[in-house]
Amino acid sequence: MRTQADSPVKDKASAGASGGATPKDAAAVILLRDGTDASNPEVFWVRRSERMAFLGGFHAFPGGQLEAADAQVRVENCEDAEACAMIACAARELFEELNVLVARGAETLTKGQRASLLDDLESGRMTFAELLNHYGLHLDADDFRFSGRWVTPPFSPRRFDTWFFLVNCPAKQEPYVRGEAELESGEWTTVAEAVARWERSEVLTAPPVLHALKTLAGGLTADLRERFLSVPQSHREPVRRIEFRPGFICFPVRTPTKPPATHTNCYLVGASEMVIIDPASPYEEEQAALASCVDDLLREGRNVREIILTHLHPDHIGGVNALVKHLGGRVRVAAHQLTAEALDGSISINRLIADEEIIELEGEPRLLLRAMHTPGHARGHLCFHEERTGALITGDNIVGLGSVLIDPPEGNMRDYLRSLERMRALPHLTVLFGAHGPAIGNPRAKIEEYIAHRLEREANILAALREGACTPAEIVARVYTDVHPKALPMAERAVLAHLEKLEADNLLALRDDGCYIAND
Ligand SMILES: [Zn+2]
């Protein structure tokens, strides 16, 4: 997905009703192996590079964003101009990413000829349309079976309106991942094995991929298309309940949170016995949506053990009282003692969660959440680690978009770095479930990035002090040169947090006149 994550142009946020960025047109290909077993077909899936900003480390299908030139490609048996362009996008992406060319006439090309065509395309000597014309090839809509159109939920910093096409891999062509920037690897898998790997928590997939695998697991039947299109999400209805992992449901709700985030993730964890972490939204319609999701899960046989709060911030607790009321007042609310004390009077916390406490959730799979008291962003902040699957619910300590604000006195940079280091030391870590944005499939790299970013800022602040800056405002002016004027007050709070840490580390001193001086 070349243009998706590497585009220098930032997604323009549009203030739609749902909030979030405007979805961009994209296409993806579910590639079926030639002559595959119709009862348990083989598909080609790829693992996205962990360096990718969007769904790094996830298993996915090849695909990417629509390019203007895709509209110039001739597609036979295609009535609708939009669909034709999306087919062209799918064919081009499949060729660019996996070196598989699904075009009429391409069966006579040798592997070497295909490689030279690909080189023409990638070097920019020819557009995809020119290349097909030049070699007397054309696309045919019959080779691209429409299998749904899914829109990334508004909680994501990058959003796509993706057309999925089921495509038979031509005989004598073998997909090939070069292990470049975007895709780390790719392989044929039977759909049964792919679903089993997801169920064993070995892979991460986005909802449309899981839906495709489960649909294909029903076999290549005559009603395959209807089964693909049987869920409203395959017709662009936003996905609300996202099961990134068995037993971990992410339900983003719109909240008055800090931009670029527009939503807070509520997590419903447990395959039978369930905890609800951060019912966050103060908005009635969002509370109703969450309540209806909880009701669905209750009908499916789960039960609610308790509501858990990661920390005290308003964009995490706005829906607690409403959910307690919806559940007839019979559900406990649990949090760290420091959170309970701070919220006293607004939310009644019935149970305190201590560091290292284990919360056992019966079900299939059975989950063991180990609570970690991880102050820094907030004094009473809790994270939860599931040791068997390596999932870590990170609250606001690590998020899938935007940055984490450390605002003293509630925020404390020294504590925060210690908390990050504690997360880094966890023995088994496969995914981070943050309170904002999509799940993070490259957990160790993300934690390293967070620590490195703070240490770099710290070094820059010390350097600024040595160069004569004295107050937080002066330091911000030197260090945060790329920050929007509106964000300057927040940057000052962050600098203050760093200064407090450096003072505690005995690396600087605060003079009586309010000036910070670096110690030598
Ligand atoms: Zn927060």
> Ligand 1 centroid vs 32 CA: distance in angstroms?
44
Using the mean position of ligand 1's atoms as its centre, give its distance from the Cα of residue 342 in Å.
Answer: 14
Distance of CA 499 to the CA centre of its chain: 32
Per-residue confidence (pLDDT) for residue 260, from 0 to 100: 82
Q: From ligand 1's centre to the CA of 260, what distance in Å?
A: 14
Q: Ligand 1 mean position to 443 CA, how many Å? A: 20
Measure the N-to-C terminal CA separation of the chain; round to a whole number of Å: 49
192 φ/ψ sector (left φ>0, alpha ψ -120 to 50, else beta) = alpha
Q: What is the whole-number distance in angstroms between the Cα of residue 179 and the centre of ligand 1?
A: 37
- Size of the chain, expressed as the number of residues it contains: 520
Secondary structure element (H or E) that encloses residue 86, with its range: helix 81-98
Give 447 Cα–ligand 1 centroid separation in angstroms.
Answer: 18
Alpha carbon of 312 to ligand 1 centroid (Å): 7
Give the Å distance between the CA of 313 and the centre of ligand 1.
5
Residues in the chain where the model's pLDDT stays below 50: 1-17
Nearest to 200 by CA among 348, 364, 362: 364
Ligand 1 centroid to Cα of residue 437, in Å, is 14
Q: Give the distance (Å) from ligand 1 centre to CA of residue 344.
A: 18
Q: How far is the CA of 377 from the centre of ligand 1 (A)?
A: 7
**Residues whose CB is less than 8 angstroms from the CB of residue 153 and which lie 6 or more positions away in sequence, other chains included:** 20, 159, 238, 239, 240, 242, 252, 263
If you measure from the C-alpha of residue 311 to the centroid of ligand 1, how many angstroms do you get, rounded to a whole number? 7
Q: How far is CA 255 from CA 54, 258, 260, 312, in A?
A: 22, 9, 12, 14
State the distance from the centre of ligand 1 to the C-alpha of 404, rounded, in angstroms: 8
State in Å: Cα 514 to ligand 1 middle: 29
**What is the Å distance from ligand 1's center to 314 Cα?**
8
Among residues 402, 406, 397, which one has the least CA distance to residue 424? 397
Dist. CA 456–CA 477, nearest whole Å = 16
Q: CB atoms < 10 A from the CB of 77, how many?
A: 12
Say what the pLDDT of residue 19 is.
58
Position 297, amino acid: L
Ligand 1 mean position, distance from CA 255 (Å):
12
Rounded distance from Cα 474 to ligand 1 centre (Å): 27
Going by C-beta distance under 8 Å and a sequence separation of 6 or more, which residues neighbour residue 58? Answer: 47, 48, 204, 205, 206, 209, 441
Task: Please tell me whether residue 319 adopts helix, strand or coil conformation.
Answer: coil
Could you tell me the distance, in angstroms and rounded to a whole number, from the CA of residue 436 to the centre of ligand 1? 10
The alpha carbon of 307 and the centre of ligand 1 are apart by a number of angstroms equal to: 17
Please give the distance, rounded to the nearest whole angstrom, from the Cα atom of residue 297 to the centre of ligand 1.
Answer: 27
Query: In angstroms, rounded to a whole number, what is the distance separating the alpha carbons of residues 443 and 52?
Result: 13
**Closest to 421 in 3D by CA, of 376, 390, 370:** 376
DSSP H helical ranges for 177-283 = 191-199, 207-216, 224-228
pTM over 0.75: yes
Crossing angle (nearest 10°) for helices 443-466 and 488-504: 80
Q: Ligand 1 center to residue 392 CA distance, Å?
A: 17
The dihedrals phi and psi of 75, each to the nearest 5 degrees, come to: -125, 115
pLDDT recorded at residue 484: 84
Sign, Cα dihedral of 425, 426, 427, 431 = negative
Residue 402 region by backbone torsions, left for phi larger than 0, else alpha for psi between -120 and 50, else beta? left
Q: What residues sit around ligand 1, an ion, with C-beta below 5 angstroms?
A: 313, 396
DSSP 411-471: --HHHHHHHHHHHHT-S---EEEESSSS-BS-HHHHHHHHHHHHHHHHHHHHHHHHTT--S
- The pLDDT, as a whole number, for residue 52 is 84
* 276 close to 323: Cβ distance less than 8 angstroms: yes
Q: Which residues 6+ apart lie within 8 Å of 463 measured at CB?
A: none
Give residue 406 CA to ligand 1 midpoint distance, Å: 9
Q: Which helix (H) or strand (E) holds 150?
A: strand 145-151
Cα of 310 to ligand 1 centre, how many Å?
Answer: 9
pLDDT of 1 reads 36
Q: How far is the CA of 271 from the centre of ligand 1 (A)?
A: 27
Tell me how far the alpha carbon of residue 206 lies from the centroid of ligand 1, in angstroms.
25
Separation of CA 332 and ligand 1 centre (Å): 22
CA 446 / ligand 1 centre spacing (Å): 18
What is the Å distance from ligand 1's center to 396 Cα?
5
If you measure from the C-alpha of residue 188 to the centroid of ligand 1, how many angstroms do you get, rounded to a whole number? 42
- 378 Cα–ligand 1 center, Å: 7
Question: How far away, in angstroms, is 341 Cα from ligand 1 center?
Answer: 16
Residue 290 Cα to ligand 1 midpoint, Å, equals 20
Report residue 269 as tokens. Answer: 């964890």
The Cβ-side half-sphere exposure at 68, using a 13 Å CA radius, reads 0
Place of tokens 């780390």: 184
Tell me, in angstroms, the distance from the centre of ligand 1 to residue 4's CA.
Answer: 29
For position 40, what pLDDT does the model report?
A: 97
Q: How far is the CA of 165 from the centre of ligand 1 (A)?
A: 40
Q: How far is the CA of 339 from the centre of ligand 1 (A)?
A: 12
